[in-house]
Amino acid sequence: MKPWTPFERSFTWRPPPPLTEDGSMCFLNDRYSVVFVQLPSGWIWLEVVPRDGLPVRRWRDLQRIKNELVGPEREAVELFPAESRLHDPCNAYDLWVAPEGHRFPFGWNYRDVLKVQQAAARGLRQEPFED
């Protein structure tokens, strides 16, 4: 797998659907293209597309993208919508980032992250973290 490179703003991208004309940007790194749309409600929509076009998804990559582009203390969700609202154009992954300070009324209230060796000691598998 290619090493992770920092995101850079790009000006060559396909426009997002017409959610808003203001605040739309695109960021690229070696692995992903991310459309960043600031919505009038204070939410942010991130459309994450693997640059190789394959339907590969790594949870840690999505967490890292969220952290790098909007901040480590912002919360985001991926919505599995009703079929009547389905949006599935190109192996894209949509993250909906809540306004700053918003906490969802579900999820864990503490941090629990295992390193490779700690997981193995419990009979589990874990990927190593990338720098």
Per-run averaged pLDDT (10 residues), the chain, 131 residues: 88 51 80 92 94 86 96 97 91 95 94 85 82 59
Domain that holds residue 55: 8-121
Q: Is the pTM higher than 0.85?
A: no
> Is 130 a domain residue?
no
Q: How many domains does the chain have?
A: 1
Per-residue pLDDT, 19: 45
Residue 100's pLDDT is 96
- What is the pLDDT at residue 21? 53
Q: Tell me, what's the pLDDT at 24?
A: 81
Q: Is 41 exposed, middle or buried (0-12, 13-18, 19+ CB in 10 A)?
A: exposed
Whether 62 is in a domain gets the answer yes
For residue 88, the Cα-to-chain-centroid distance in whole angstroms is 16
From CA 129, how far away is CA 113, in angstroms rounded?
11
Task: Please give the pLDDT value at position 117.
Answer: 87
